[in-house]
Structure 1
């Protein structure tokens, strides 16, 4: 006896979907998973500024939780440079935007002696 196909199983089958439909479905799923930016208050920015300064001057490792629309991004390292005029900072040779820092989720760890 033949198995009856439901509408859902037909749309789930990749052989039934046109390439245009697959692309539209993937884009829709991405939009549904997009994260919202978290705004930080004045106290949070003071904490961030202090932690960046300590990492830069005392060479302490910090962990920063950064905004990315589709994934959780964490920057771990020692701040090499801070460019206030462009609103960015460098960790391990890579520039990051200060405006992308989320919340005051910053942890400082003392540099380990070798």
Structure 2
């Protein structure tokens, strides 16, 4: 997992004294969804997306892996929202690491 994402998690934990988890998609809710959708309504779910700069064609399909990944991310977000969970989607642009570094620079250090 990226160092920037780990640093973001560390700052959130230290600043707000809350637990954090991290999952990688598409479809990260497949493995944790029952907990996140059916558990107590105490979470804040932040979804990071990017532009899929290294997109690949899917053989025999009319869409790319990036399009598929984006659709899965949107489905995960909509699933959380349908259970009235607090969500935030952050689009990091074409360079996810750079986007995370920009986000970290804007956050106060704990």
TM-score (norm 1): 0.25
Task: Indicate the structure (1 or 2) with the bigger Cα radius of gyration.
Answer: 1
Larger RCO (CA under 8 A, 6+ residues apart): 2
Which is helix-richer, 1 or 2? 2
Which is strand-richer, 1 or 2? 1
